[in-house]
């Protein structure tokens, strides 16, 4: 995941400057005036009957309340003569119908995303464009009648065909990179959710999918899918996908940051925000109010509220030393900052900042990659903790070898393998001689030292793959796969000698320690583990009756 992120950052760094330069070209040679409402009569507008009602637009972005619908006049400035093959265009991300009256023309040219793919001369469908005829000169005006549900400012420009195609191609490549990466993240989340059986990945994948759909609508790329785009006239798709993505990602934040556990008060606020976003999403499907601009305003305010709760939760977690807060803040900060910027632009009807328009979709990818990485890291941590817990449940804390429970499991596995392969398994049942006297003479702490030292010496004598565990007290059992009885006796003698030949040092005392070891054999004919242990125990008892510090085997 780290390599993918680094590669993406390199691509992002290389693409951003080129896109920013393209977006920050000198102002286009046009001046824009808003005439009035869309219901104004055509003849009166074209004849200049409402010229006294015109208001100059401060930029090349069409703004209006609640949207940009209405009559506009585009006055061509002297700089148009310097532009070869000039094209007047508008970036429209929401379904928009534009009727254009060129100077001296009585009939308008109608432009819309729904019919742009066939007649848009290779431009992306978000660009509604019209070539300016050679006989049109500076000082003349082009009239626009716009019908749109778009609440954001619509950017208008006049460029040469070559410049417009270059800009459009750069935007398309950028969008394709973003959208392709998000698709990969969605698929990765689904696969990880299935493989790891972790629903958090599925929540993130679903949120990423909705974010992708929002970006498709926000970038205007959704008009490549005509069957879906036709719904934009009846349902504000950008609004629907935006609210849905915000609700799901707010819930993901709630789960990922474990708000209920770490910040219970903020968790209650977050749940209310999720419910409110879900309620607004339902209203988007109610006839009569689904296209109301108030839904967009309320949704943007709720998104701001969710961003505040997430940031507050992350800060509190960071303060408490919780790594999840820092990870979430790093991954989510760019997207939240740019989303808040965009929300403010929409609420205040400001022209969209060109650089923010480029960086905004890229922040979704950065957030997605980092959050997937964080989820993977959290899952790895959980796995390590789980494995450590399982290990502690299976390991004797004093000697750090298998405890009785784990030993029984491993012995059964050894027996099954012996039964399948036909090989023999030797069982060694070892007991420290006179261990009670050792405890009485040097204390229980000294007895623990003896147990650990004996365990270490036995372990050093065993082969790779042998099973070794503490059966109880001072008793140990070893299972030696693929081992004949003669080999088992030789190994048991080495173990006995390794313990008996060198005293154990404790508190400057030399403590003499010996082992008695009983041996039994397990094979494909006689594969009863309990019977083999009892047989080894009988052999051990025989050692105890015959002087201890010895090895003995009895016939099965």
Provide the pLDDT confidence category of residue 66 given band limits of 50, 70 and 90: low
Is the pLDDT at 5 greater than 60? The verdict is no
Helices 293-319 and 264-283: angle between axes, nearest 10 degrees: 160
E strand or H helix at 111? strand 109-112
pLDDT, tens digit, 9 for 90 and up, residues 372-402: 877 777 677 667 666 666 666 788 889 989 9
The residue whose two tokens read 């585009």 is 74
- Whether the CB-CB separation of 324 and 256 falls below 8 Å is answered with yes
Flag whether the pTM goes above 0.75.
Answer: no
Cis preceding linkage at 379, omega within 30: no
Q: What confidence score (pLDDT) does residue 366 get?
A: 82
Measured distance CA(258)–CA(236) in Å, rounded: 33
Q: What confidence score (pLDDT) does residue 371 get?
A: 79
CA-based nearest residue to 19, from 342, 361, 337, 339 = 361
Measured distance CA(263)–CA(270) in Å, rounded: 10
Highest mean pLDDT among 86-95, 114-123, 247-256, 369-378: 247-256
Q: What confidence score (pLDDT) does residue 381 get?
A: 67
pLDDT, tens digit, 9 for 90 and up, residues 443-489: 999 999 999 999 999 999 998 889 999 998 999 999 998 899 999 99
468 or 508: which leads in pLDDT: 468
Four-way CATH pick for 2-165: 3.30.380.10, 1.20.1070.10, 2.30.110.10, 2.60.40.2380? 2.60.40.2380
Q: Pairing state of beta strands 551-553 and 515-522?
A: parallel
On average, the pLDDT of the chain sits at 83
pLDDT, tens digit, 9 for 90 and up, residues 125-150: 888 888 998 888 888 999 999 988 77
What mean pLDDT comes out for the span 363-377? 79
* Positions of CATH 2.60.40.2380 in the chain: 2-165
Q: What percent of the chain has pLDDT over 90?
A: 34
CATH class of 404-553: alpha beta
Q: Tell me whether residue 354 is exposed, middle or buried, using C-beta atoms within 10 angstroms of its C-beta: 0 to 12, 13 to 18, 19 or more.
A: middle
CA 25 to the chain's CA centroid: 36
Q: What confidence score (pLDDT) does residue 494 get?
A: 94
* Positions of CATH 3.30.70.270 in the chain: 404-553
Q: Tell me whether residue 493 is exposed, middle or buried, using C-beta atoms within 10 angstroms of its C-beta: 0 to 12, 13 to 18, 19 or more.
A: middle
What mean pLDDT comes out for the span 329-351? 76
pLDDT, tens digit, 9 for 90 and up, residues 416-440: 887 777 788 999 999 999 999 999 9
Q: What confidence score (pLDDT) does residue 489 get?
A: 94
Q: What confidence score (pLDDT) does residue 477 get?
A: 95
pLDDT, tens digit, 9 for 90 and up, residues 515-541: 999 999 887 556 688 888 999 999 999
Q: What percent of the chain has pLDDT over 70?
A: 87
Concatenated DSSP letters of 203-253:
HHHHHHHHHHHHHHHHHTGGGGSHHHHGGGGTS-HHHHHHHHHHHHHHHHH
- Least confident span in 19-33, 163-177, 400-414, 512-526: 19-33
Q: What confidence score (pLDDT) does residue 265 get?
A: 92
């Amino acid at each position: 995941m780290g390599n993918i992120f680094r590669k993406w950052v390199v691509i992002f760094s290389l693409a951003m400057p080129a896109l920013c330069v393209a977006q920050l070209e000198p102002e286009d040679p046009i001046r824009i005036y808003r005439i009035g409402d869309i219901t104004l009569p055509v003849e009166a507008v074209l004849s200049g009957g409402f010229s006294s009602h015109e208001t100059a637009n401060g930029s090349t972005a069409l703004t209006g309340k609640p949207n940009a619908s209405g009559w506009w006049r585009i006055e061509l400035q002297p700089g148009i003569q310097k532009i070869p093959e000039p094209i007047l265009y508008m970036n429209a991300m929401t379904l928009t119908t534009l009727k254009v009256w060129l100077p001296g023309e009585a009939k308008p040219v109608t432009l819309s995303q729904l019919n742009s793919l066939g007649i848009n001369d290779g431009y992306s469908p978000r660009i509604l464009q019209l070539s300016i005829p050679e006989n049109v000169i500076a000082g003349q005006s082009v009239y626009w009648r716009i019908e749109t549900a778009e609440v954001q400012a619509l950017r208008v420009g006049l460029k040469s065909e070559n410049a417009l195609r270059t800009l459009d191609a750069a935007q398309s490549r950028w969008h394709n990179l973003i959208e392709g990466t998000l698709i990969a993240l969605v698929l990765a989340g689904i696969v990880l959710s299935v493989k790891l059986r972790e629903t958090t990945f599925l929540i993130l994948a679903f949120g990423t999918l909705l974010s992708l759909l929002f970006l498709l609508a926000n970038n205007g790329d959704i008009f490549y899918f005509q069957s879906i785009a036709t719904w934009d006239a009846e349902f504000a798709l950008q609004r629907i996908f935006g609210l849905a993505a915000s609700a799901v990602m707010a819930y993901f934040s709630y789960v990922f940051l474990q708000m209920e556990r770490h910040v219970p008060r903020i968790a209650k606020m977050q749940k209310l925000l999720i419910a409110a976003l879900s309620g607004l999403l339902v209203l988007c499907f109610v006839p009569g109010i689904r296209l109301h601009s108030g839904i967009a305003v309320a949704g943007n305010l709720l998104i701001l509220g969710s961003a505040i709760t997430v940031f507050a939760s992350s800060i509190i977690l960071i303060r408490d030393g919780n790594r999840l807060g820092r990870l979430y803040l790093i991954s989510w900060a760019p997207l939240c900052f740019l989303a808040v910027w965009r929300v403010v632009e929409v609420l205040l009807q400001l022209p969209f900042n060109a650089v923010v328009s480029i960086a905004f979709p890229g922040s979704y990818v950065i957030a997605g990659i980092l959050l997937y990485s964080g989820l993977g890291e959290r899952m790895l941590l959980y796995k390590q903790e789980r494995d450590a817990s399982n290990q502690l449940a299976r390991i004797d804390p004093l000697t750090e070898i298998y405890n009785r429970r784990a030993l029984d499991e491993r012995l059964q596995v050894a027996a099954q393998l012996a039964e399948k392969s036909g090989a023999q398994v030797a069982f060694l049942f070892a007991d420290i001689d006179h261990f009670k006297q050792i405890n009485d003479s040097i204390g229980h702490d000294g007895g623990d030292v003896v147990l650990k030292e004996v365990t270490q010496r036995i372990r050093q004598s065993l082969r790779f793959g042998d099973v070794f565990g503490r059966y109880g007290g001072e008793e140990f059992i070893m299972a030696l796969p693929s081992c004949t009885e003669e080999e088992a006796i030789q190994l048991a003698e080495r173990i006995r000698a390794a313990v008996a030949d060198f005293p154990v040092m404790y508190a400057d005392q030399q403590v003499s320690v010996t082992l008695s070891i009983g041996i039994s054999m397990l094979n494909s004919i006689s594969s009863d583990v309990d019977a083999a242990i009892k047989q080894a125990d009988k052999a051990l008892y025989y050692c105890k009756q015959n002087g201890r510090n010895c090895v003995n085997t009895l016939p099965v």
